[in-house]
Each structure stands twice: as C-alpha cells, then as structure tokens.
Amino acid sequence: MDTILLKSIRAVDAENDFISDIYIEDGKIKYVADSIDMDADIVIDGTGLAVMPSFFDMHVHFRDPGFTHKEDVLTGCAAALAGGVTGVVCMPNTNPVADNADTIKYVINKADGTGVDVYPAGCITNGMSGSGLCNYKELISAGVKAISDDGRPVENAEQMRQALEMSNDNGLLVISHCEDLSIINGGIMNKGEISEKLGVKGMDRASEDMITAREIILAESVDARIHIAHVSTKGSTEIIRQSKKAGVKVTCETCPHYFLLTDEKLLARDADFRMNPPLRTAEDTEAIIEGIVDGTIDCIVTDHAPHAAEEKADFEKAPNGVVGLETSFAASLTGLYHTGKVSLNKIVQLMSVNPRKLLGLEYISIKPNETADLVIADLNKEWTVEPQMLHSKSKNTVFKGMKLKGKPIMTLSKGEIKYKEM
C-alpha cells in the first residue's frame, strides 16, 4: 500500500479546522504536524484544498438485486466515491426485498473491494408487507445495523410499536418513511399553488407530519430510538424539535434538494424533479435550513434513487426518486456553507460523524491512528452539473444544469485512493 503525504492542507473534522501536513501509512493517519519531512510514494500539494473525514450516506437505493438497469452495487459505489462517500446504508426495497440473510449477504459481498462500506438495511416487516415482523436476529447476524420499510410506511401502528420496543434489546436503528398513504391518495407532487396550476393531484404535507408525530409517540411509549427519514416539511421539523426538547429519542435526516429547491421546479413538468417526499415550498425550505442550523436535523443524506431515462419520460406516470450521491456535498456547501449559514465543521458533523454515530460505527477525526477514510475537496471550485458525467447508471438529478460551488476531487478509503478527479 502506497504511503501518502498531504502538504499544507486545510484539515477539518467535526471539531477542528487547521492547516497541516498529514502522513498516511498502512491505511491509517500516521502523523499530523505543521511540517512533515518524510519520503512518501505519493505527495499531494494541499494548498487551497481541504481534507475531511469521508462522508457516510445513511439513505441510498442501489436497486440491487432486481432493478439493476437503474443502478447496481458497483455503479452505486462508484457514484458514492465520486461524492466523497465511503459508507452507505442501502434501503431494502429491492427484488427480492432485504428481509432475509441471503439478500443482505449478497449486497455486502458484491460491495467488497469497492472502497465503500455498504450496510444494507433490513426490512421492518416481512416482504415489506406491513404485516409480521422480520427475524431481526437473522438480519443482525448477516450484518444489518438498521431496519426500514422505506419506500412505504409501516401502516400498522402496533407493528411499528413492536419493532421499536424490540430495538431496545437488539440495538437496531428503526428508520421510518413517514407518509400516510390515505392522505397521499395518488398525489404526485406537493399539494399547493403549483399542483393546482399544473392540474395534478398533490401530496398534502399533513401526510408526512401525521406519521412523524405517530412514530414519535410510539417511540416515546416504549422509550426507544426512532429515526425519521428525509424530512421535508416545516411541520415535521417543528414536531421533531419539540420532541427532542421533551427528551424523546428521535433523530432525523434531510436531503439537499429539500433546502435548495422548491416545488416551482415542477412547473417545467419534468419528472426528474419528482421524488417522495416531494419538493415543498419556500416556507418549508427555510424551516429545513433552520432545523439544520439549530441541530434539530442530525444528518444530510441523499435518498439516492436512480431511475432510467425512459422511466422518467412521462411527468405524471414516472416513478418518484432522484440521484444525489455525487452532488450532495457540493449542494450542501453551496446552500449552507458558502452562504454563511453553517461552518465546515457542521457539514462534517452532518455528513460524516452523526450518521456513523447513529449506526454505532466508528467515526473519524483528523488525528494519528485514525482510519484514513478521507475526502479531499476544492471548496471553491465552481462547476455545472452535467447528468451524463455522473457515475451512476441513472442521470435523474434535480441539480442538472445548476452551478455548484465546491467539489470532492479525491476520496481515500482505508488509505487507498479510490477516486481521483481526472
């Protein structure tokens, strides 16, 4: 394994921000000092660049097995590395669904050697049917850290309560897709002025808020952890904020598109801007940003959900979902860091530290003896998102044609360079 010396680079983790030399050997950070005069196989001039702990995206869909025309584990991992991500949680709505050890092991084994630590989420209920809980002991033995029926809610509240109660003993993080299907009732975008203008059925934000409240009530009743996926509304953010203040063990995540974009993007009748939950209003984006700033929101994820171009061709009939692994950091810098709303330390906390903490995984700091899972970025690089340049099989990005500021240019996994911008 090559030794690597980073010279005069800005080193940023959750707590520190300083200029340093960093020496990497045998997959570890060996030395961190003002000046390191040692031979190395690879020397990188870090002037004007930043190095951070690599990111962990705890909400992605790699579509493998069963839907590999959209994405597979290998292309998903390539997209992750291009975005500075070396760890992911894959959601279980595959075919077959990840409610058994064989499917879990298939995904983990396929990811071996990619440089990305892939942790498949197991299902909460058998077959994601909403009826009957999975064999959690079997899932844990296969490598599962979290369970979710993401893609749909667990409609039966008692089933969800039981899963939460059992999590106190088995340690699994329960991740909830908060959506009341009876309220959604076939809606395809946010219900409001824009949906009315387009003449299409909308998704009332009450759908998300209702189930968010339900999950928190259930978690509180059994004193268990609950993690709320892809928060998009002002209402859910406030419910979570107040519940945290009350001592409920609730955490949550959001995605860059929920704080950068609004449902006005749908005026173009382009299905690439459709996802679930949908883009909301400016009032909601402002609330999401406030939730990030004050700590209500714990993580930034992507909900990376690839779909082939032909599947996205019809605005009203297309499946929901957007890709995001390669743009998440850049979009977060653009919308949060370069606007002065949060520090770079906070970005690291949201994208690297907190997801790992929630899953009981080791998180990384820039100091000796730490695993060299690192991302090197040019924080000021301006670039335009070109879908065809993405590493994902699918190109359904909401940021197409958008100019972003900041970009990962190199990703190291356990001391090996796994991605380098050409």
- Which contiguous run of DSSP H or E holds residue 104? helix 101-111
Residue with tokens 């990703």: 411
Distance (Å, rounded) from C-alpha 68 to C-alpha 79?
15
Is 303 a known active-site residue? yes
* Contacts of range 186-189, beta carbons closer than 8 Å, 24 or more positions apart: 188/274, 188/278, 188/316, 188/320, 189/263, 189/266, 189/274, 189/278, 189/279
Distance (Å, rounded) from C-alpha 154 to C-alpha 149?
7
Instruction: Please name the residues in contact with 85: beta carbons below 8 A apart, sequence gap of 6 or more.
Output: 54, 55, 56, 57, 116, 325, 328, 411
Distance (Å, rounded) from C-alpha 136 to C-alpha 302?
26
CA atoms within 13 A on the CB side of 111: 28
- C-alpha 61: how far from its chain's center? 10
Q: Give the DSSP letter string of 239-257.
A: HHHHHHHTT--EEEEE-HH
Strand 189-190 relative to strand 202-203, pairing = parallel
52: number of Cβ within 10 Å: 27
Distance (Å, rounded) from C-alpha 202 to C-alpha 185?
9
* Catalytic one of 21, 117, 204, 303: 303
* Contacts of range 287-291, beta carbons closer than 8 Å, 24 or more positions apart: 287/233, 287/234, 287/237, 287/238, 288/231, 288/232, 288/234, 288/237, 288/254, 288/258, 288/259, 289/259, 289/335, 289/336, 289/341, 290/237, 291/231, 291/237, 291/240, 291/241, 291/254
Active site residue ranges: 303
